[in-house]
Structure 1
């Protein structure tokens, strides 16, 4: 009765030996390829917010600072940059344009304030926004001559402008951790019509210019390329999808907020776009005014392909201390403009909104005040209506006294009140153009939205 069991045991033993000999021995796991880690800190559309500011974008007062209601400012940004720089050996600090224009600091110093603090904070590169050309080539040339880093614009031709010739780079190369990093710059083609670059400055098509710059960098053996773009979030995604070779695109212009955690974000950080070669392009931007410091950490393989990434904009609120050295310099510059902040020129019984999500899409109390004031003055010349574009409203005013500083922060462009005659057809076309992008959720082109007084 036990014989079958013995035979079964022999068969089992044979099968066991077969299994053991047929299975290959465990192999050691292949070590992953060494990855190069790059940290990119970025800003955009800071618009001369040198001091900290409240939710309306106006400079904080002592009461607001005591109640922890203040954000941003170069001193707070400096603290966070220094902390991260000490922790991350391969770090780049870049800006996507529009350092100029927006507060009394620019009105008084015309870019000298941006030059001072960008040098102090150790920026590695920036591109131009449209507002860098608000006061023509002369002011911009002085700014570029004074900065310690390249001013990069790949889609501009300044050969006919002697003030800028040789100052603007089509691309730049920097070294981090033994790896070459290429940087290109792309500014909006509309700069010639929305700013004052002068007759000798030309803006080329963005995508073609970007591809030429990327190809030039590739010839130098660069396979990690960052594009600094002042074109707006939607255009940035189009550029990323059209140009081969861009790895990271740092954007600006539309003041877009990206985040993986905030409910009000307009997209993820980073937003991933597939390039023509099938590689991932990481698109990031950091809202505006320097309220946030963009933080992106990327791991690249030897071929310059992004393998891993993480990041999130860092809110620069009162939990972050202000750097003492930078704050001292900011306060020194503030001394010359402080008298203007105290000169009372009016009073409001309600908050006047500076929210661009309102002023660039809908009628607002700030737009009504501005156009009513324009019409009040222009009626002396027989005018019947007044209009002002929502993109020109740059700040809000809180309930209470209105100072000259408030007025200049709301309307910082030194515009002149102009009068003209229009036909009914002209006005109809004007209104149609005004609302043509009013429903764009990303504020692309919506600075054209007009506020009116006297129109019925």
Structure 2
């Protein structure tokens, strides 16, 4: 499915016989929505009262209803697809699980979605309930679910839809390391995305489908690899890395679309802040001859659908008391942006790690390690509500304390910096220790340089043979984000501590107004 621009000579050659039957398709897309049904602030957390009316907020399902209707009206043929991770991220998910996402995705009339890693946060059973509630196919090509009874025979690798008389193949793709990121259970195995996609492309092509779109929740880097190492993929609609692709913004990480060989790759950041709109023209043989577009900002210029606003407010009523409770004050905005926290020390990382350590310090715990993937938003200055705290820490994780020797601690930090190039969530935010690392060293081969642990009011070199008491969250303690060295029953562990969001709220209240900071506890050489 070669990407080519027809020259005037070629065009004349085609029209000398039968007129070329070009097919135009608009691909509308979202990704990493994370239950942000209400508008969000510029910090990706909840929109404070009054700010939305003042035009300071973005996104929300009510704006998507309007924007999608307008985009469909501009196109003769359009589809609406999602790049995964509708689940998790706000109290709406905590309370309703997948039910609310299903209701609004049906209202928006999606045509397909891939499984994101967070769709497995509550196991295959909740994913299956979501699948039974939606009116469109949910796909995942690079996993074997045959041994998982809730998904076997139901979760397909690909599907074919029709639009404007043409068949369009959709293929789903999920992170290969989903076992490290979520809770899919032991019955599902995940495999190589390139091989999985190529197998489905070959099968669809053999069935006469010549327009193929991959819905990928594997991240911008992996999407480029898939495009480079497969044939027959026309478009990849991405997710997972929250990448903002654009042709007009200096904040973009790449162009929209990003072309790799003949494949157009798109992604639209996250949280419903943008609606991706890619316009593709295919020739009669299914070759892409043009692909262009731009993510549309869901800002105040997009009117909110009133019925949707009312329905979300109705669903939010049981949550209002929790969400609106003021728990503390912040003297300044607190940076929890994933682009920062997943590669270096950050303000929100220090706050979370400090809060964890403060809560259990009287138990002899001296070190805290928090995975940056658990930090999901920044905070504005001023009053802090519990709703904002839960936007930062939405996963209902609890504190886990356990014993670890110094050598294993260093190995854990090595794991933490092993995927910085991919901006993965395993990057460690810490308290009670300092470390330096060198990105020029290959992952897993000694990136961690110096590790110093707190000893009274000073820091001393870590002792590989000494046993330390550590606190993390129960997800990381269970081996999540690659921290398998933390798991097991041999560590004198207690995995049933208080909820991390409550710990953070109480720490901020005790230190209100909280002043965010970084102090050099993590150094990149």
Query: Deviation at 1:327?
Result: 1.9
Match of 1:430 among 407, 412, 427: 412
Displacement of 1:252 in angstroms is: 0.6
Cα-to-partner distance string for 1:246-294 (whole Å, 9 max, x where unaligned): 10000111001111111111111101111xxxxx100111111110100
Distance 2:295 2:341 in 1: 25
**2:454 is aligned with 1:454:** no
Give yes or no for contact 1:145–1:167 (8 Å, CA) kept in 2.
Answer: no
Inter-CA distance 194–158: structure 2 relative to 1 (3 Å threshold)? same
Partner residue in 2 for 1:348: 330
Name the residue aligned to 1:200.
Answer: 187
Q: Does 1:369 align with 2:351?
A: yes
Of 158, 166, 171, 2:145 maps to: 158
Instruction: Quote the residue 2:45 is aligned against.
Output: 58
1:346 is paired with a residue whose SS is strand
Deviations 1:121-176 (A, max 9, x none): 01000001100000101111100000000001111221211112222111111111
**Equivalent residue, structure 1, for 2:286:** 304
Output the CA distance in 1 between the equivalents of 2:324 and 2:71: 37
Give the SS at the match of 2:251. coil
Quote how far apart the aligned CAs of 1:234 are.
0.9
The 8 Å contact of residues 353 and 368 in structure 2, kept in 1 or not, is answered as yes
Q: 2:246–2:256: 8 Å Cα contact kept in structure 1?
A: yes
Residues 196/29 of structure 1: CA separation in 2 closer, same or farther (3 Å cut): closer
Aligned residue in 1 for 2:176: 189
**Pair 1:144–1:416, CA change in 2 (3 A):** same
Cα distance in structure 1, aligned partners of 2:138 and 2:232: 21
CA distance in 1, matches of 2:344, 2:280: 39
Match of 1:282 in 2: 264
Greater CA radius of gyration, 1 or 2? 1
Structure 1, gaps ≥5 residues long = 1-27, 275-279
Deviations 1:4-34 (A, max 9, x none): xxxxxxxxxxxxxxxxxxxxxxxx9553622
- The secondary structure found in structure 1 opposite 2:225 is helix
Q: Please state how far the C-alpha of 1:341 moved relative to its aligned partner.
A: 1.5
Q: What TM-score comes out, normalization by structure 2 length?
A: 0.78
Structure 1 residues 385 and 273: alpha-carbon distance in aligned structure 2, compared to 1, 3 A threshold? same
State the distance in 1 between where 2:309 and 2:50 align: 18
Secondary structure at 1:352 match in 2: coil
Matched ranges for 1:40-439 at <5 A: 40-274=27-261, 280-438=262-420
| Cα distance in 1, alignment partners of residues 341 and 173 from structure 2 | 27
**Aligned-pair CA distance for 1:445:** 4.2
* TM-score for both structures, normalised by structure 1: 0.89
Is residue 174–residue 217 contact of structure 2 (8 Å, CA) maintained in 1? yes
* 1:205-263 deviation line (CA, Å, top 9, x unaligned): 21111111111111221000000011110110000111111100001110011111111
Identify the residue that residue 20 of structure 1 maps to in structure 2: none
Give SS of 2:263's match: strand
Provide the rounded CA distance (Å) in 1 between the counterparts of 2:312 and 2:244.
26
| Distance in structure 2 (CA, Å) of the matches to 1:260 and 1:176 | 28
The number of equivalent residue pairs is: 420
Q: SS of 1:446's equivalent?
A: coil
Alpha carbon RMSD of aligned pairs, Å? Answer: 1.5
Contact residue 226 and residue 249 of structure 1 kept, 8 A: yes
What is the CA–CA distance in structure 2 between the aligned matches of 1:217 and 1:34, rounded to whole Å? Answer: 21
- Residues 99, 132 of structure 1: 8 Å contact kept: yes
Post-superposition offset of 1:436 = 3.2
Distance in 2, matches of 1:286 and 1:167, equals 28
Instruction: Answer whether contact 2:214 2:233 (CA < 8 A) is retained.
Output: yes
Check conservation: 1:45, 1:288, Cα contact below 8 A.
yes
